C-alpha cells in the first residue's frame, strides 16, 4: 500500500474529473522547451522528482508535496552547482575551523560536535535563490525552476556561534567563509565557497546541521554536515561542509561577485550584507514574503456549488506570516485564509480557505503579508538572475 507521502507524489500529475493523466512538470508559464524536456526521474534514496539537470543534479519538488508541514527528505529538492559530489565517510570526516581572524584552529569530528556542543533544532525553509526563475518575463538564463526549488524541514545540529567561540573570534573579524567537499570536473571551475557577515555567523539561529527531519543528514542534502542560515536563501547553506575560515577582509571570488547579486534598493531587504555591497548591486540575502497554492492546478475540474478548500503555504525571511488573503475571482474581492500551526518564524505556515464555487471559470489567487507589513507583489521585480520572484500565485480552475 502506498504511504501518504508516496501517494501525494504518485497523484501529483493527475487531472481532476477523470481526464487523461499527464505529468505535472511545472506551471504553464515556464519556457516551452523547459516543459517539453522536463521529466520525473530519481536519484538514489529519492522519490521521483522533476529533473532539471542530471549533471550537476538539479531536481524540483512537485508543488502538491510542498503543502505538507514538512517536506519529506526523499521528496526534498536537490540543487548543486558542481558535478563532483563525493560520498563522505562520517567516521573519517573532520571539520577544520580557523582563518586569519580566528584566535586558534580546530579539527572537529561529528562525534565531538554531537557530544561537546549544545544540540539545537530549528524549523526553516530552504529555498534556492532562483526559485521560480523560469517564470521571469522576459526569460533569463539559469536553471528554469518552477515553484518547487524549496522545502521546509526540521534541522538539528549545533550553533555555529558555539563552534566559533571555541576557536576564538578576533575583534577584526568581518566575514566567515565556508567550503564543502564538492568540486568541479575541471580545475578552472570556481570552487563553491561562500561567506556570511560575522554578525550573521554569530546569530543564535545559524546552525551546523547533522540531522534533517529527525534523520541523519542525507547525502543529497549535505551529509555529514551543512550550514543552515534560517531566513536567508540557500546559496549560503553550504553542503558537505569541510572548512570554516574567519576572515578579516571580505571574501572575493566568482560565487560572491558577480554571482548571487541583486539590484541595490529594489527589494525590501532588512538583513543587508554591507561588506559585499557595491554602488549598484548587493548580495541576495533574506527571502522575501511569498505564498503558494499547493492543492490546485491550472485547468483542474471541480464540482460547482460544493464547498472547495484552497490550501497552501506562506513564508518569508523570518519575520513571521501575519495573514494570507485569497481571491477566487481574479483579485476583485478578497477573503482572509485560516492559518495553520506556527512551527516558528523561519518555517512555512500552512493556510486554508473555503468557498462554494458557481459553475464556470475561476481565477484563484493567494497573497501573503508578513509581520513587518510587507506583502507579495502583483508585478515581477525584474532582475537579470531571476531572483526573488514573489508575484502573487494564481491558478485557473473550472467548476462544472
Measured from the Cβ of residue 57, the count of other Cβ atoms closer than 10 Å reads 18
**91, 312 contact by CB (below 8 A):** no
φ, ψ of residue 15 to 5 degrees: the values are -85, 150
Q: Calculate the average pLDDT of the chain.
A: 93
Secondary structure of residue 23 in the 3-state scheme = coil
Q: Which CATH number fits domain 290-399: 3.30.1490.20, 2.60.40.650, 3.60.20.40, 1.10.486.10?
A: 2.60.40.650
**349, 363 contact by CB (below 8 A):** no
- Rounded Cα distance, 131 and 142, in Å: 11
Instruction: Read off the DSSP letter of residue 369.
Output: E
DSSP string across 137-175:
SS--SS----S-SEEEEEEEEEEHHHHHHHH-B-TT--E
Contacts of 316 (CB under 8 A, 6+ apart): 231, 287, 288, 289, 290, 368, 370, 374
Predicted confidence at residue 38, as pLDDT, reads 81
**341, 314 contact by CB (below 8 A):** no
Largest CA distance in the chain: 70
Q: For residue 197, with 0-12 CB atoms within 10 Å meaning exposed, 13-18 middle and 19 or more buried, which class applies? A: buried
Predicted confidence at residue 22, as pLDDT, reads 53
Spatial CA neighbour of 34 closest among 146, 137, 149: 146
Predicted confidence at residue 332, as pLDDT, reads 97
Q: For 211-223, what is each residue's pLDDT tens digit?
A: 999 999 999 999 9
Instruction: Indicate yes or no: pTM above 0.85.
Output: yes
Reported confidence tier of residue 23, pLDDT bands at 50, 70, 90: low
Secondary structure of residue 360 in the 3-state scheme = strand
Domain with CATH 3.90.420.10 in the chain: 95-283
Predicted confidence at residue 3, as pLDDT, reads 55
Instruction: Read off the DSSP letter of residue 295.
Output: S
- What is the homologous superfamily of the domain 95-283 according to CATH? Oxidoreductase, molybdopterin-binding domain (3.90.420.10)
Q: For 92-115, what is each residue's pLDDT tens digit?
A: 999 999 999 999 999 999 999 999
φ, ψ of residue 96 to 5 degrees: the values are -95, 130
Q: For 305-342, what is each residue's pLDDT tens digit?
A: 999 999 999 999 999 999 999 999 999 999 999 999 99
Q: First vs last Cα of the chain: how many Å apart? A: 32
Domain with CATH 2.60.40.650 in the chain: 290-399
Amino acid at each position: 500500500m502506498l504511504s501518504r507521502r508516496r501517494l501525494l507524489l504518485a497523484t501529483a500529475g493527475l487531472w481532476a474529473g477523470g481526464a487523461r493523466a499527464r505529468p505535472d512538470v511545472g506551471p504553464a508559464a515556464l519556457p516551452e522547451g523547459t516543459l517539453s524536456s522536463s521529466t520525473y526521474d530519481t536519484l538514489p534514496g529519492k522519490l521521483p522528482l522533476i529533473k532539471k539537470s542530471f549533471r550537476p543534479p538539479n531536481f524540483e519538488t512537485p508543488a502538491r508535496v510542498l503543502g505538507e508541514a514538512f517536506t519529506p527528505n526523499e521528496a526534498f529538492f536537490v540543487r548543486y552547482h558542481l558535478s563532483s559530489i563525493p560520498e563522505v565517510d562520517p567516521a573519517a570526516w573532520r571539520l577544520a575551523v580557523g582563518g586569519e581572524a580566528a584566535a586558534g584552529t580546530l579539527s572537529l569530528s561529528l562525534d565531538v560536535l554531537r557530544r561537546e556542543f549544545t544540540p539545537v533544532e530549528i524549523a526553516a525553509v530552504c529555498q534556492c535563490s532562483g526559485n521560480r526563475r523560469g517564470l521571469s518575463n522576459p526569460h533569463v538564463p539559469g536553471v528554469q525552476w518552477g515553484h518547487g526549488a524549496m522545502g521546509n524541514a526540521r534541522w538539528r545540529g549545533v550553533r555555529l556561534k558555539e563552534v566559533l567561540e571555541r576557536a576564538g573570534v578576533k575583534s577584526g573579524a568581518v566575514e566567515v567563509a565556508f567550503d564543502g567537499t564538492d568540486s568541479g570536473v575541471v580545475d578552472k571551475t570556481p570552487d563553491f565557497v561562500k561567506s556570511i557577515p560575522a554578525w550573521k555567523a554569530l546569530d543564535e539561529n545559524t546552525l551546523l546541521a547533522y540531522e534533517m527531519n529527525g534523520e541523519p543528514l542525507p547525502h543529497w542534502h549535505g551529509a555529514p554536515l551543512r550550514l543552515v542560515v534560517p531566513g536567508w536563501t540557500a546559496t549560503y547553506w553550504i553542503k558537505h561542509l569541510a572548512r570554516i575560515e574567519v576572515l578579516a577582509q571580505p571574501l572575493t571570488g566568482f560565487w560572491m561577485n558577480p554571482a548571487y547579486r541583486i539590484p541595490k534598493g529594489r527589494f525590501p531587504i532588512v538583513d543587508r550584507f554591507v561588506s559585499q555591497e557595491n554602488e549598484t548591486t548587493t548580495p541576495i540575502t533574506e527571502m522575501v514574503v511569498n505564498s503558494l497554492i499547493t492543492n490546485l492546478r491550472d485547468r483542474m475540474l471541480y464540482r460547482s456549488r460544493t464547498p472547495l478548500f484552497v490550501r497552501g503555504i506562506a513564508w518569508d525571511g523570518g519575520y513571521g506570516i501575519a495573514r494570507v488573503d485569497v481571491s477566487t475571482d481574479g483579485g476583485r474581492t478578497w477573503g482572509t485564509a485560516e492559518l495553520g500551526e506556527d512551527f516558528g518564524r523561519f518555517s512555512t505556515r500552512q493556510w486554508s480557505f473555503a468557498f462554494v464555487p458557481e459553475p464556470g471559470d475561476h481565477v484563484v489567487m493567494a497573497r501573503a503579508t508578513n509581520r513587518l507589513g510587507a506583502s507579495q507583489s502583483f508585478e515581477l521585480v525584474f532582475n537579470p538572475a531571476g531572483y526573488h520572484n514573489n508575484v502573487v500565485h494564481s491558478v485557473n480552475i473550472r467548476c462544472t
